[in-house]
Structure 1
Amino acid sequence: MKKINILLFVLFVSVSISGQNKGTKAADKLFKRFEYVQATQKYLALIHSGNSDGYIYKQLGDCYYFMNNSIESEKWYSKALKFSQVDNIYFYRYAQVLKSNKKYDEANEQMIRFSSNLPNDSRAIAFTKDPNYLSKLNSIDEAFEIKKIDINTKHSDFGGVLYKNALYFVSSRNEKATIYGWNNEPFLDIYQSNFKEDGTFAEPVLVKELNTKYHEGPVSISRDGNTVYFSTESLNDNLFENDKVNKLKFGQVYIYKATRVEGKWTNITSLSFNSKSYSTSNPSIDSEGKYLYFSSNMPGSIGGMDIWKVAINSDGTYGDPKNLGDKINTDGDEAFPYITDENILYFSSKGLTGFGGYDIFSSDLNINEPPVNVGKPVNSEKDDFAFSFNNERNLGFLSSNRDGSDDIFSAKPIYNGKISLSVKNAKDGIIIPNSKVLIQDKNKTFLDTKFLKENSELLYNVQPNTNYILEIYKDGFVTKSIEVSEIKRGTAMINVLLDPIEEVVVRDNESIILNPIYFEFNKSDITNKAINELDKLVYVMSQNDQINIFVKSHTDSRGSDAYNLNLSQKRAKSTVQYVISKGISNDRISGKGFGESEPKINCKKDCTADEYSLNRRSEFMIVKKL
């Protein structure tokens, strides 16, 4: 898993390796040099010669863990954990490889051991709080349709970022590059592939100006395309600590910046907050070019690698890096941040609750939303990371080793946006039960009618590229119409406050539409339900002699135009007469029938029973008295 080479290079030596002896000296030296392939061979040779113990088992578990071989790692960790002298972190690591192998029950057993020993660890707290997390993760709605793209190789390919028509990514496919002892693959280089209109990609080419003989990491490009940020090693600047014993140049990962001049990347410089004491990597610049997000283990980190951000000043200098805090970061590792145009942060975490390995999470930074697991199929039991999204193409990319090596997948959004509607009394904020919601598109084409339950909350699945108009009805309250803009993903929380009809305040030069009343098919009689509404209208008029009422009556589309016009006139007349019969002066209310000419729902002859009923109505216009 080559991504870790450039991400967590400095972290792995911090794990205790007490228990080494003369017999393991050669293997331990290779392990300290991160040459895990050869170290594994040495440790296995010791075991085959009869020289085995808990320390060697642990070292083998680590070698395979860092090489991302969860099957072998599980085998050796299981042996190591039978010995009493084991650091607590190994219960967590063992749990992670068990999850990667889909052994969730066994993984939970290890998490219980880990949590009992380190109850204040954020990972332990999260597990203790929700030990049955798996069912919740599996119930997450699918947000993206993923597909492996056609430029992957047998080597590591990851970190795809689409800018205009160019996909930038990182790969170890260069057979001429130096072989890295971590997993006997070539060093990582930055590549570019043009995105074609048929959805395929052209043959990738090296971005020569940015590559060196060392590792290069994923890139982030400014909106104008003139600035690129990328990760590489401090060894390029001859900055390292020299481990003479192990013959190792101990470097860091740095973020560098380059500018485009005449189509070439030039002016490559190391960022000012890089340091010999820690690593910085995985840059992501926001759409306005004001902040750079990155991962680092710099002082102030909560866990191993954390997500940070730094302000980019107008003069090109940088502010002080700021940790995104414990809502995002854990005692584990967080890496691969990507900030979208909408200020949604995607990142990968091994510390937050997931399916196994790295999982991809998102957080809406506009509202300081806690991170949420993106769910399957984006996430799997293996490592899932390096999510990015291109708004122009409406297409994302992620990387995963679910098929054995790091590969790049496209991620096409599945629109699962929702409207969550709550209806309350504007006077006291109390929920109004049993409201009715008429759902229309922006052209007022009828889509659906929902009758809300006792708690008066509606959850409605929306369609892509659609704006909605919601009309909320409740007897005794003024009908309210609200517009809802397109919802691409997530849930829009909408609170609707309805004014009680007796609380209506008539203002100058304003008209307010009261709740309509409805009629039975082919009848003009006032129903009992209509009487309740008309009585409220009478009350409003009796309390305010400065308003007049104009009644507009309608029919559904069945019957001839002449017949419907006559029927609607009868409905207007019966409505007016009822109000007058309650003591309201006849000079304050008048009415007119409009037949089928102004349908509430323009469904013509294909109406449902509910749609027909909504068209058979009298509506009330409250106007200021002349």
Structure 2
Amino acid sequence: CSAREDLDAAAGDPKDLYIATFNQETGSWNEPVNMGEPVNAPPATDVDPLRRGDDREPWITGDGQTIYFKSDRTATTTPRNHNDLFVTHLVNGIWSTPELLPAPISTDEGNEHCPMLLQDGQSLCFASARAGGYGQSDIWCAQQDANGTWQDPVNQGPNINTAANEFHFTQDATGVVYFTSNRPGGFGGLDLYSAEQLGPNTWAPAVNLGPRVNTSSADMCPALPPGAGTLTWFSDRSDSSFGAFDIFWTNKTNLTTTP
């Protein structure tokens, strides 16, 4: 997501979704393209001041056919509901009108964001401040049944969640997840952590990824390009940056993944 050339301007910091393809011949990324409507929603502040056209935190499936993301397009002041989760599918080369992931995924209370699927393809994980958590934003996961219905989300427990904020799960092929937290003991305001999956909704204690990744600035929103053996993330570190937040990458061999 990016704030460059938004469909329209609105108060705050609304974002649009962009998509870029990797050029195998040149070994570089093609120019990002705004996904446009109906994926990106223009501001609708005449309906509700919370609807600022803010679409962000996309997660695309490995086959490139489905994107999950958060949006404020259904935000309401009463009851107060900032963000919900949506899904869009690539059909005959065109991205479909995003569909709301209804309760028990999206709720009035939870401010859901940062959706993704675990490697099993049936577990949707996301961050939410809903009741029953350990503190602020926690990571929750829900299973999809044989009929395609999402079951009640399960809090991922104290080895993942703390009284601080946890968000933006992503999982590699070995079952290790990477996520963002501002818990005490890190290198900066937001750090990246990893944890090994031990079973359904069960994780080993989280480990800080260390100073080769984390800085005194904000390091957040990890992603794992398919088959690349690399980790990418957002950072507002002062060195080698072009703007407020840039995308960085490193080989996974540079990560600290054990206590």
- TM-score of the two chains, using structure 2 as the length reference: 0.84
SS in 1 for 2:98: strand
The answer on 1:376 being equivalent to 2:215 is no
Amino acid at match of 2:77: E
1:338 aligns with 2:170: yes
Note closer, same or farther for the CA distance 1:176–1:230 as it changes in structure 2 (3 Å cut): closer
Q: Determine the C-alpha separation between the residues in 2 that align with 1:347 and 1:410.
A: 15
SS across alignment from 1:288: coil
- Aligned pairs (5 A) from 1:277-292: 277-292=109-124
Distance (whole Å) between structure 1 residues aligned to residue 97 and residue 7 of structure 2:
26
Deviation digits for residues 572-613 of structure 1, max 9, x if unmatched? xxxxxxxxxxxxxxxxxxxxxxxxxxxxxxxxxxxxxxxxxx
Report Cα offsets for 1:177-215 as digits up to 9, x if no partner.
21433xxx5x20000111123442111101124111211
Measure the CA separation in 2 of the matches of 1:296 and 1:335. Answer: 8
Cα distance 1:204–1:289, how it changes in 2: closer, same or farther (>3 A)? same
**Counterparts in 2 of 1:217-256, with a 5 A limit?**
217-233=56-72, 236-237=73-74, 239-242=75-78, 250-256=80-86
For 1:363 and 1:309, the matched residues in 2 are separated by: 15
Structure richer in helix, relative to its length: 1
Q: Structure 2 residue aligned with 1:271, among 98, 101, 105?
A: 101
1-structure distance, mates of 2:132, 2:216: 30
- Letter paired with 2:192: I
Distance in 2 (CA, whole Å) between partners of 1:304 and 1:221 is 26
Mark the CA change 1:295 to 1:302 in structure 2 (over 3 Å): closer, same or farther. Answer: same
SS at match of 2:29: coil
Corresponding position: 1:215 with 2:54: yes
Runs ≥4 residues deviating over 6 A: none
Match of 1:298 among 112, 123, 130: 130
Is the 2:109–2:129 Cα contact (8 Å) retained in structure 1? no
Q: What SS does the aligned partner of 1:346 have? A: strand
Of residues 198, 221, 224, the one that matches 1:386 is 221
For structure 2, which runs of at least 5 residues remain unmatched after alignment? 43-52
Rounded Cα–Cα distance in structure 2 between residues aligned with 1:225 and 1:203: 17
Q: Give yes or no for the alignment of 1:311 onto 2:139.
A: no
- CA apart distance, 1:490: 5.5
Match of 2:2 among 171, 183, 197: 171
Distance 2:28 2:214 in 1: 23
Q: How much is the aligned-residue C-alpha RMSD, in angstroms?
A: 2.2
Is the 2:187–2:211 Cα contact (8 Å) retained in structure 1? no
CA–CA distance in structure 2, aligned partners of residues 382 and 269 of structure 1: 35
SS at match of 1:414: helix
**Which amino acid is 2:233 matched to?**
L
Q: Is 1:200–2:28 an aligned residue pair?
A: yes
Counterpart selection for 2:246 from 399, 402, 407 = 407
Which residue matches 1:519? none
1:283-314 CA distance string (max 9 Å, x none): 11123311011100011111110011111222
Distance in 2 of aligned mates of 1:399 and 1:288 = 26
Aligned ranges for residues 496-507 of structure 1 at < 5 Å? none
Q: Distance in 2 between matches of 1:353 and 1:216?
A: 31
Q: 1:262 is matched with which residue?
A: 92
Deviates more, 1:371-380 or 1:391-400: 391-400
Would the aligned equivalents of 1:330 and 1:352 in 2 still touch at CA under 8 Å?
A: no
2-structure distance, mates of 1:175, 1:311: 34
CA shift for structure 1 position 253: 0.9
SS in 2 for 1:314: coil
**TM-score when scaled to structure 1?**
0.36
Largest Rg, 1 or 2 = 1
**1:77-156 maps to which residues of 2 (within 5 A)?**
none
Query: C-alpha separation between the residues in 2 aligned to 1:263 and 1:337?
Result: 28
